[in-house]
A = this chain, B = another copy of it.
Amino acid sequence: MNQGITEAQFLDQYNPKDYDSPLMTVDIALFTLHESTLQILLVERGDHPHKGRWALPGGFIDLKSDTELHDTAKRKLREKTGVDVPLLEQVNTIGNARRDPRGWSVTALYMALVPHAPTAEFIETVKDARWWPIDEVRKLPLAFDHAELVHLARERLKNKTAYTVLPIHVLKQPFSLTQLQQAFELLMDATLEKKSFRRRILNAEILEEVGEGVPEGGRGRPTALYRPAKNSEQYLFTRVFGDAVSS
């Protein structure tokens, strides 16, 4: 093929529309903790296909304005939900002939865990986008293969929580160790043993004590309150909580 022509000549006559190519999208699973539940952000589809169904926010690459794939993810999240997230993590890329009735389709799935309060403010300005408790999402008929995408992102969140100090950055500050343990348990979908949880967290030196709050249950000793220590963002547990393992 292409014998005797230069690369410049080849590129000059190259037209991507001469070839069949798949649909290429991004989808974003945005999680938060609110009212003691893990919640995920969904949008109600306004257009065909799967009009009227709830779906992860996402969409097509804009070849003119998006520089990188993760720019597409950030832009789509902002446009569809009003939420601006500094860092999105790629979970997986799924492609097949079945997932979209328009044809062979590939989607790059991203996720992030964000504090609840600031996003809620933004979301009020956007129609048809809302936080759903993760247990209710299981009962919704989602668009496309988004039930499977939600599951993949949820599993990544569980594993990630077991290895990192993620939860200390999404809780409202200051927080108690009881609140922090609840956050870890919600994110990992697991029950942790109180004593060993506290020992591991305090030994890790990722928290800074900032004062005392009202006693738990209203009586007894005041509760110590914490916020993330400086440099805690780089901290990774090298031993997992419970039985969670990396995939």
Contacts and interface: CB of A to CB of B under 8 A. Distances in A.
A22 B20 contact: no
A238 interface: yes
Nearest to A61: B22
Interface of A, secondary structure class, is loop
A17 interface: yes
A163 B69 contact: no
Contacts of A34: none
Contacts of A23: 16, 21
A110 to B, nearest CB: 10
A178 interface: no
Interface residues on A, range: 35 or more
A15 to B, nearest CB: 9
A61 B103 contact: no
Contacts of A94: 69
A1 B90 contact: no
Contacts of A16: 21, 23, 102-103
23 contacts: A2-B48, A5-B48, A7-B48, A7-B49, A7-B51, A10-B49, A11-B49, A16-B102, A21-B22, A21-B23, A22-B61, A61-B95, A61-B104, A61-B106, A66-B97, A66-B104, A69-B93, A69-B94, A69-B95, A72-B95, A93-B108, A236-B246, A246-B246
